[in-house]
Amino acid sequence: MLLYLAGFITSLVLTETDNLTIDSKLSKEVHFVALLFVISLLLDVLDRQVEYTSRSDFLWRAKLKVEQEEVETMGGINKILLENILPAHVAHHFLHYSMANDGSIKELYAEKYDSVTVMFASIPNYMEFYDENDINKQGLECLRLLNEIICDFDKMLLKPKYSCIEKIKTIGSTYMAASGLQPGQENLKGSAGREAHNVTILVEYAITMMSILEQINKESFQRFKLRIGINHGPVIAGVVGAQKPQYDIWGNTVNVASRMDSCGVIGKIQVTGDTARVLQESGYEVECRGQIKVKGKGNLTTYFVKITNQHKLIN
């Protein structure tokens, strides 16, 4: 547009120059100077316009880049937060497939496993320790110590050795975890080696938990003891709830593992007969407790895992 205008002015000036007489018109040099001035002015305006457009384009690109980086950062934060409450493969599923526009879950997510090892580990004498009085700030210091214990248990799961173990939840002073909840391992029929690994690694982790609690006792002058129950078998894993979804596992295997804890003995790891057999085949020694009455299951023969100093040193 500006170039067209410059051409029009040039044509107009030349036409007017030809129409003027020699006596009345200015010299051609003056006209050309005026013409050059006008063209220079127009080119300067054009240059400024191009520069303004370039600057605006640069600023918009920079703003877009910042916004994209913010989106990526928020996506990373959301992933970290989601993986803190869900297993990594489940979090990936919801981040990419099953979240509605309002952030709720669109459909049921469930997995069926033929062999998962489940553990319940309780601190029965914690409730005797917990007290709401002025000395412990109405129970705050008691909760602070419990938080320290649970956090130390959680940190141990970050080790590659325990990567196949998934913390499910804590219920009061009871810690629930399971091994074998990994994609591609749903069907373990005919895979005795993997089944044995899931059982033994969770027992090793249970022994490690005992050692951690012993160390905390020394530092805090407490006498906490773990009571642990372990069982293995088929489970269904899934996520329930539209808001604040929770990953959990269900089935008879879970119920029996819970009973192994609640009917257990403080300071010992109690397992079912099938789990004891797997442990014996893997080199562990077990002690038959005999038959005990288990709520909803009748009489069950259970076993205690013998924990040696060698096991403690290994873990």
pLDDT of 217 reads 93
Residue pair 266/279 in contact (Cβ under 8 Å)? The answer is no
pLDDT for residue 259 is more than 60: yes
- Quickly state the pLDDT bin for 76 (edges 50, 70, 90): confident
Rounded to an integer, the average pLDDT of 44-57 is: 84
**pLDDT tens digit string along 95-130?**
776 555 555 556 778 889 999 999 999 999 988 877
**pLDDT tens digit string along 177-236?**
999 997 655 444 446 688 999 999 999 999 999 999 999 999 988 899 999 999 999 999
Spatial CA neighbour of 201 closest among 250, 164, 232, 173: 164
**pLDDT tens digit string along 262-314?**
999 999 999 999 999 999 999 999 999 999 998 888 899 999 999 876 555 55
pLDDT of 41 reads 81
Query: H helices then E strands: how many in the chain?
Result: 9, 8
227 among known catalytic residues: no
- Quickly state the pLDDT bin for 69 (edges 50, 70, 90): confident
Token pair 């969770």 is found at 202
Crossing angle, helix 140-156 and helix 192-220, to 10 degrees? 140
Token pair 């899931």 is found at 198
**pLDDT tens digit string along 11-45?**
555 555 555 454 454 566 666 677 777 788 888 78
295 among known catalytic residues: yes
What DSSP character marks residue 243? S
Out of 227, 259, 268, 289, the active site residue is: 259
Out of 295, 297, 306, 312, the active site residue is: 295
Q: What is the DSSP string of 125-146?
A: THHHH---STTTTTTHHHHHHH
Cα 98 from chain centroid (whole Å): 16
Measured between alpha carbons, how far apart are the two ends of the chain, in Å? 81
Query: Backbone phi, then psi, for 170, in 5-degree steps?
Result: -120, 140
CB atoms inside a 10 Å sphere around CB 100? 10
Residue 97, CA distances (Å) to 103, 106, 118, 177, 234 in order: 12, 9, 28, 26, 26
